Structures are given as structure tokens and as C-alpha cells.
Structure 1
Amino acid sequence: MTAVCTALVVGGGIAGPVTAMALRRAGIEATVYEGHPSAADGAGVTLTLAPNGLAALRAVDAEQAVREVGLPMRRTVITDGRGGLIGTLPHVAVEPVTVGLWRDDLARALRERAEAQGVPIVHGKRLVDAESTTDGVLARFGDGSTATADLLIGADGIRSRVRTLIDPAAPDPQVLPLLNLGGAARYAVPDADPEAMYLVFGSRGFFGYWVEPDGRTAWFANVPDPRPTTWAEANQTPPDQWLHRLREVYADDVPAHQVLAHTDAADVVAIGSIESMPSVPHWYRDRMVLVGDAVHAPSPSSGQGASLAVESAVQLARCLRDHPDLPAALTAYERLRRPRVEKVVRRGRQTTSTKTAGPVAKRMMRIMMPLALRTFLNPERSLGAEQRYRIDWDAPVSAELAQH
């Protein structure tokens, strides 16, 4: 039985509600504190949830709710900007299959599952400070209110306030030289496989898309740009200007230019530069600990950001459940998670670098792809172990630690 009975979870996005649900199953009362004044629903941007992430959601009885708002993705089709096929990669032969979905749909499904399970989610609570005491932790919010509990968990994203409270010298996110934008077009790419994600190595940018059942095409664009651009800076540029720039960048690429021609400016979302977290030296201190993007955000190119966040939420709850000593629980949690997540972060960074390939590299890619698909790009070889990872909720953490 854990000595932790109550927890404050800072962040109501993806990791926060899952952490609270997992803690609740472990017998710990958890409340989620979200800085935004209300739930922010809307189109947002797209992401994928890998088989390992969906499997981890079973531990908190949320898998089905998420699958209902996603689309099964069984293969990835890679083309060049002229529409020429570079290669088709079948996904790892494992259930559940990867799903593609809108970030806001995922966050809403998780939030609703958490609330249905009795997890309180309080909005308008932006964390400004926290301090550990002899018998708990005190959190202070921007509206002047406070809250106390046995443990504070930072699920507050890549610009985590909790991370800087744990370690003021903690590293900042690493900026990669690609702008990330997304949106939806009122257009269905003709003859698109409804269970495929399409990746286009265009002449001046990287473009991805899939076709939705309602006839829209969900898309994202990665445009090379060496200037670091935050979300706030990206959103100082009006959406119609972003759309104009994208239409210029992809003017010679199919089907990107058709998709963008049918996209309204109101449906364009600017994220800013792609970022990932370098190795974070301190995952916890005293009665504060990190989960999700706050501690191990990979590049979106990894396809594992949300899945790793879900896994870490479940593993943290298991460690707290099985270790009555808090320092031992947090040490076990980091020991279980750090090697796996940092390996994925490295892979994501490498994958992102291929999106800036020049014309010669793209020609070589097309020539070498058939061999690559049989060897190092074979999904079973490159991603099989990563996506087949499963968490046994009922097993004691000590048994898993013995294998590390």
C-alpha cells in the first residue's frame, strides 16, 4: 500500500487525465488542475496513437473511448511531390492497430472518461509556484488560490512549469529546423486508401495527410525554417498568411497543392517549430514528479508522443501503488521509463532530419526504398519491439524492475 493518498496533477491535456485515472485505480485520490479557463475544443491538429499507447489505455478503461474517435491506420504510403510512389510500409502486425485522430478529440475523450470515473478537473488554475513541506506539497495558482496534497505531478507539457520548479537549470526543448502546421481541407484526395497515412517528400517541404470518413482531408505540413518559432510567435501571423505561404511552398507538389487549395484559412493551425526534449537530468524532487511531454517529449515524427505519455502515467501509478516509500517509488518509475523514452526521442529526432532531404537524397531514397523495406525499414524490425511493448497492470513492479 502506497503512502501517497492524494495528488495534484497539473495539466489537463493528454497525460494529465490518464495520470489521474491511473492514480485513482491505484487507490490515490487525484485532482487535475488545468491552466486554461475552459475545455478548448476544436479541430486542432492531427496525431497518431500507436498500439502500445492504446494498449496502455486499457489499464484506465479508456481504450475504447479513444478508438471511437480515431481512424485505423494499417499502412503508410510514401510518395514524391510528383505523385510517384516511393514505397508502402505495412504497419506492425499487432492489435490494436495505430489510430489517427485530432488532438482535441483525443483530449476530450480522455477528459470525459476521467470525469466519468470521478476525477475532478478544475479549469483556470495556472500553476505559478509549489513547495514541498514535511508532510505534503503546496501549490500556488495564478488566481491566488492554493491546493495541497501528498504529491504534485507535472503533466504540463513541453514548457512545463513543474520541470523548472524541480530543477531551475533543466534544459529547454530542442528546436528542430522545421515549422509545423496543420489543418483540414474540404476535399477528399481521390482514390486515397481510407486506412493509410500518406507522406509526401515535396520539392520544398514535407506533407502528410489522410482522408476522413466525412470527405475532408486531414493534413500537416513541415516547412524547413532555421529560425526558432514558438507557438505564440507562429500565431502572431494571421492564418490567411500562413495558408498563402503554404500554397507557394507546395505549388508544384501533388496532392498537397490540391489539398491546400480546398483549405480555408480558418482551418489552418500554426504550431511553430518542431521541438523535442533532450535528456532531462531530474525527473523528480521531493514531492514533485514529471510525466509526458514535460519530461520526454519526442518529435511528432516519432509517432509516439501521446503513447509514451500514456505509458508513463500508468507506470507512475503502478510504482506509487507498489512502493510505500515515495523516493523508492519515484526512483523505480524513472528506472522503468528513462531508457525507453530516450531511445524513442533519439529515433524521432533522426526521422525528423529526413524531412529536410535535398533533391539528390530524395532520388537515392526512391532507388534504395525497396531494399530498405526488406531490411532496416521493415516495420517489424524497426518498430516491432517499440509497438509491442505492454504494461501488465496487475504484475508487481518489482518483477518488471528485475528485468531492467
Structure 2
Amino acid sequence: MSDNGTQGGRGGAAVRTALVIGGGLAGPVTALALRKAGITATVHEAYPAAADGVGAWLALAPNGLAALRTIGADKAVEALGQPVPGTVMADGAGHRFAAFDGFAELPPSLAMPRATLYRALTDHAADQGIPFAYGKRLVGAEETPEGVTARFSDGTSATADILIGADGIRSTVRTLIDPQAPGPEYGGVLSFGGYATDSGVEAEPGTMYFAFGRTFTGHWRGPDGRLIWFAGLPTDTPPDPADLARVPAAEWLAALREAYAGHVPGERLLQHTDPDQLMAVGRMERMPSVPHWHRGRMVLVGDAAHAPSSSSGQGASLAIESAVELARCLRDLPTPAEAFSAYVGLRRERVEAVGRNAAAANKVKAGKSDLEAAAAFPTPEQMFRPLHFHRIDWAETVAGN
């Protein structure tokens, strides 16, 4: 153990420096995990400043919190989230078909704005000495036997032993690794969220409610007593982000109210939401199976490799897990090729299973699959057990493939 609290490579690993491309959620976590493994990393973010205020709400599941604990980042977020251990599933007429109170052995999932989690992780990484470089939009990369050089749109460059693409679902690094790589897959739904006041809709504190049907909603009671909800507007021809932003919130709200007429509890939630409390999140997307997560000295992590869509409730947690596993592999294996191969072996099956399940849920939300399909889903306990109990053993040495 070195004097800065990091743990270096056990087998004389060749990787000592890394360029992390992308300063979202996966970027700072990856840099923190690499630091624990004895690897110096700098986070390069395309935007000129930290992306505060971006995104809606998300859930950090127990497995994600456990992965943060592995790298000493759990305390930075624990007090910021709202504990939501319970789940109730119902149909659009208000008939319940499943309920779950959470696992007594585990901490609850934490609901919070994405911006809150982002700021906590970024601040924690900076406090730990992780450098961030802003205004660095990646445009290309060249490899040599000794390292990789990233080229940025401002004319600057940076060189390190490896380059890690933590640059999200529209990853530039993914296309550098494989120009034929698939892009994000649209799930047939535009996502919206909002805050409802005095709706009379049931919402026990600590419980998240899901209502399936021709349309879909989820909601829970926020710390201030308002109900926080999310819903989907099925459409086969979604607007691009710019067009989405040009439509007034009142128009989107009117379209949602029409789509959710007669839906329990969607109709009442929407009737008690003002236009200025509406969030137009955008297309519900996920990554299909990405054939190549790495090439040479470049590798993907988080949404760039395996964005499962918000239906999974696991996007942030899986990204955090992958960052920690990648760092373990780089710590223990002597070459980038061996480390990257072991990393994919540890992660692909798990993340793609989550993605397939989320895709099935998206079909129900988009009206492409009937309600019986939703009722036939595994129970919440069956769904959550393999997800929430997953743990990464940092002390265990990674074996090569």
C-alpha cells in the first residue's frame, strides 16, 4: 500500500496512467477506482464546465452503493438520496399484482436527481486529487506500442498508457474502437417526469409505485411531500432533442393528459402537475449488445458499453460496478489486452441480461406488448435479488482468461 492510500498492480502491471474520456457519472468513478489500483488518471470532459443540473431522477441500487463503498465514495452520496426500499406493481386500472418491502439485509435504494449524484461524485473525486480537464471534446486517438494519444477539438492532445471511454450512450470512443459499432436503440417511448401536488394519489413514504397498461407511470413521495412521477409517451417517430426542447411544456402536458385519460394513477398525477413542473427527459434508449468493448489501448466503461435504459433502474449502478471491475483487472494483469479481456468476461453476461430485461419492459411501456407480459415478469424479489446482492471482491486477484 502506497503512502497515498492507493494499491498498486500486484503483478507489475504495465498500465500506470490513463485518460478517462467523459466527466459524467462513470468518469469520476473510473478515475477513483484507477487511483485505488495505483493508476493515475485525468478526466477529460467535452463541455466547458461541469454539467450541473443535467438529467432527471435516478435510483442508486444497493449494488451500486456497495461498489462505491469499495472505492471509498459511498459516504459522499449516502446522505443525499431518499431511501426507497419498497415497490408496488399494479395495472392501469389500479389492481395490484406484486409488492415488495426490500431486503432486510441490504440498505435501501436511494432516489435522487442525477445532478445530485453527479455533483457528489465529481466533488469527491476532485477532493481526492483527481484532475479534470474541461472543454476537451475528443476527435481522434492514435496508438503506439508505448501508449495512446487523444486529440481534442481545441487542438490540444494528451498521452497516457490507456484511454477509457466513459463518454456515454453516444460514445465517440466506441466508434474509434469499432467504426461499425451499433448506436443506441430507441425503446418506442418519450420519457417525461414531473411533480404533482395535492393529487390524492396513494404514496406511502419509502415506496415506489409502478402502473403498467396501455401507458405506464411510476411515482413516489418526495422529501417535500410532493409526488415525483415519471411516465412515457409511446411514439414510433420521436423528435430529436432540439425539436423536443422547442415544444412548450404545456403542449407536452396536454398530450400526456390525453394519453393517460382513465389511467390509474396517471390521470390524476398529470391533472395535478403544472407545466413548469414538467421535465421532458427525451427518448428512452438503451445500448444493444456491443461486439467490441476494447481495441488496442482503448476500452469502454458504463453507458458507452452497456446502457440498459432507465427501465432497469440499474444504469448508474452498473456503470459504477464496471468502473471498479476494470480497475481490478488493470491492477492484476500485465498488459492492457489481458486486462480488457478479463474485464469483458466479468461484465458482459451480467449487464446484457439487465439490458434484455429492460428492453422487454420498454415494449410494455410502448404498448408493443400486452399487460399480461408485465404481470408475467418475475416478482420484485426475484428480479432484484441477483441485482442488489451482487458484490465485487476488491481483495480477490483477477485471473486472466
Shared fold (TM-score, shorter chain, > 0.5)? yes
Contact 2:55 2:281 in 1 (8 A): no
RMSD of aligned alpha carbons: 2.3
Of the candidates 309, 312, 328, which is equivalent to residue 299 of structure 1? 309
Aligned position for 1:385: 386
For residues 324-335 of structure 1, the aligned pairs below 5 Å read: 324-335=334-345
TM-score by length of 1: 0.90
Which residue is 2:141 aligned to? 130
Match runs of 1:22-101 below 5 Å: 22-42=33-53, 44-101=55-112
Question: How far does the alpha carbon of each residue in 1:205-260 deviate from its partner, in whole angstroms, 9 at most, with x for none?
Answer: 21111111112222211121112444344223233322222222223334333333
Classify 1:143/1:356 alpha carbon distance in 2 versus 1 (closer, same or farther; 3 Å): same
1:9 aligns with 2:10: no
Structure 2 unaligned regions, length at least 5: 1-8
Q: What secondary structure, in the 3-state scheme, does the structure 2 residue paired with 1:383 have?
A: helix
Deviates more, 1:106-115 or 1:309-318: 106-115
**Residue of structure 2 equivalent to 1:349:** 359
Q: Which amino acid aligns with 1:394?
A: A
Quote the Cα distance in structure 2 between the aligned partners of 1:153 and 1:187.
47
**C-alpha separation in 2, matches of 1:130 and 1:267:** 42
Aligned to 2:3: none
Name the CA shift for 1:239/1:127 in 2 (closer, same or farther; >3 Å): farther
Report the number of matched residues: 390
Q: Is the 8 A contact 1:52 1:387 kept in 2?
A: yes
* 1:255 maps to amino acid: P
Asked if 1:145 is matched to 2:146, the reply is no
Give the drift of 1:153.
Answer: 0.5
Taking the aligned partners of 1:253 and 1:187, their CA distance within structure 2 comes to 17
1:92–1:379 Cα contact (<8 Å) kept: no
- State the Cα distance separating 1:332 from its structure 2 match: 0.9
Paired letter, 2:334? P
1:310 corresponding residue in structure 2: 320
Tell me, what secondary structure is at the counterpart of 1:159?
A: coil
- Identity, in percent, stands at 52
* SS, match of residue 314 in structure 1: helix
1:157-208: CA deviation from partner (whole Å, max 9, x where unpaired)? 1100000011101011111111112233455755511111111225x42111
Counterpart in the other structure of 1:240: 250
Q: Which amino acid aligns with 1:396?
A: T
Stretches of 4+ aligned residues off by more than 4 angstroms = 186-191
Deviation at 1:380, TM superposition (A): 3.7
Determine if contact 1:188/1:215 at 8 Å carries over to the other structure.
Answer: no
Distance in 2 (alpha carbons) for counterparts of 1:351 and 1:58: 30
- Residue 252 of structure 1 is matched in structure 2 by 262
The one-letter amino acid of 1:241's match is E
| Paired AA for residue 347 in structure 1 | N
The answer to whether the 8 A contact 1:187-1:215 is kept is: no
Pair 1:201-2:212 in alignment: yes
Amino acid at match of 1:317: A
CA shift for structure 1 position 386: 2.5
Residue deviations 1:97-125, cap 9 Å, x none?
22222111111111111111111122222
Say yes or no: does 1:104 pair with 2:105: no
Unmatched segments (≥5 aa) in structure 1: none
SS in 2 for 1:392: coil
Q: Give 1:133 deviation, angstroms.
A: 2.1
Aligned to 1:225: 235
Deviation for aligned residue 1:8: 1.0
Residues 49-85 of structure 1: CA distance to partner in whole angstroms, max 9, x if unpaired?
A: 2211111111121112222121112221123344443
Q: Is the 8 A contact 1:177 1:225 kept in 2?
A: yes
Task: Give the whole-Å Cα distance in 1 for the aligned partners of 2:200 and 2:328.
Answer: 44
Q: Is the 8 A contact 1:43 1:183 kept in 2?
A: no
Q: d(CA) in 2 for partners of 1:154 and 1:365? A: 36
Partner of 1:41: helix, strand, or coil?
coil
Q: 2:173 aligns with which of 146, 150, 162?
A: 162
CA contact (8 A) 2:201 2:265 kept: no
